[in-house]
Structure 1
Amino acid sequence: MNREKIIRLGTRGSILALAQAKIVEEQIIKTDPDITVELRIIKTSGDKITDRPLQEFGGKALFVKELEEALHRREIDLAVHSMKDMEMPLPDGLIIACVLEREDPRDVWISRDEKKLLEIHEKARVGTCSPRRAAQILSLRPDLEIVPLRGNIDTRLQKLALGACDATLLAYAGLKRIHYTEVITEILDPQIMIPAVAQGIIGIEVREEDTELQKILKTLNHQETEKQIHVESQLLQGFGGDCTTPVAGWSYMDATGDVMSLHGVVALPTGRKKLKKSLQGNFQWLSSEAYKLGQEFQAWYMMHRE
């Protein structure tokens, strides 16, 4: 951050990414109206590859790589990310300065004929490139056919409308942020379709040495969300997985703020077998147990994978 109080915010150029960048910009300006935030749109490798699954090219890290390179080159001061796209550990010299309050983490079902998941016709084509979503869908409806569907929210919805598939799944948080929830056929119960680790969470990445900017961003940090992402990330780290494996984890705090719950699942890509478990306890206990659960999921997956 420079002395003129100009913050250069790096973001992808999708509708959702720009909406999330705007949320961050507004919150920063609330902390100090004298700050000017300049948006810098950066096209990532993930944006350029639209016809094949990202797993073939390095996974969701492709949505992050160019933003982190821009941080290192000092072309931007901060990068706004969907935290479910982040892979740990971060590159040397970069840190997550804060996470904003989590939006609704659930997945939604969108079908062309407005039929819900359990109502849609046999052998309906479900468009997704997410192993997590595909495995859980096939576990519920093994008669359905999974077909690849990639792109930003608007691209996927356009492909759905044009008949590339009969239904698809998206993150509820994204549709809420772009004010486009009218397309939703059904909001899926997170006990049935467990969300991706960190789904619905916006994170802000900065250079570790930029302590002045970190002080500003720390005021935006949402502590409960920070605990959720820590616990869910422990599950994923214990598993040793990324977006190429059908593992999911979702945590939340009870009304007292003292007890956290974690729901996790790992499944075979075919959905024929899965292991689903839940844990409950205080934050410190759950953090260590989440990692152990991830290891248990990994052992199960290695034993049962086809």
Structure 2
Amino acid sequence: MNTHDAPEGHEEHTPLPLPVNSPDRRDGQVYVMTAELRMAVKVALATGRPLLLRGEPGSGKSSLAAYVAREHDWRYYEYVVTSRSKAEDLLWTYDHVRRLSDAQVRDPGTVLNDADYVTPGPLWWAYNPATAADGRKGRRKRKDPWARINKDRAPDHAVVLIDEIDKADPDLPNSLLVPLGSHQFTVTDTGERVRRQKGAERGGRKGHTAAGQHLIIITTNEERELPQAFLRRCVVMELPEPDRERLVDIAAEHFRHEHGGTEGFDQELAEALARELLDARKEARATDVRPPSTAEFLDALRACTSLGIGVTHDDWWLIRSLTLLKPQQPEA
């Protein structure tokens, strides 16, 4: 309804703001890295070990992988773990139902090719995109599920995000020990051996060994304890909560990408919201509920900026309760 057509007795409101394009960025364009986190990435690459990121939800763990891939111009893949996930989902999946159906309707003498029913997972595409896409020996040519992003990126290097691994059964991280450590595995349904594609030694960046040509970033929200054997084989870093100064830096960087520059960025508003976030975290912990995250701080900033709400506005405290101190159950 147009604001000029408001029914009698109802106040007119300003038009609704346009929605933000992708508030949870997964394109790798925005990330404010600390020196410690950048060193952790370098260590993971130098050792060829996965980088396990710990931290509260909304702290930026999942966004790092796409940023590193974009920064280095490497291919990018991701897999979000669920309680039903199996290690094979990261390596390959086999369509038993489709094969059974084809076997029932095939012409006499027709031989089914098991490779036609295999779909490579993100680690296969990362380790060896050539065999993942292989269409030889009668196979159907497979398409990189992230082809739009990866078509012009370095074929010998890749970043893989394994998100929220703590949601899976402990068997999943244990089953990934060999594929993550040796960069190879066998597709049991076909007997095909998948190995890391050679060639990274040519043109690889200084300090990136062949073993570290693929960066595997794994995140956990600590909902379930991970096996010790798995932890021993990871470079582990906990993302600390950003202080007020870092929160403002993060806000400015996101504003720059969302608005095409820093013109119009309200430093005073960002600092006030940063203080509110830190206070809200203290309140949340005092009452045994989940503290608000950096992502929620950015939501509060976007709302205030879009709606023209400053620290002296009547709705300032409403923004705080809607974005920072949300009603929730006490933590277990």
TM-score, length of structure 2 as denominator length: 0.24
- Which structure has more relative contact order (CA 8 Å, sep 6+)? It is 2
Greater Cα radius of gyration, structure 1 or 2: 2
TM-score, length of structure 1 as denominator length: 0.25
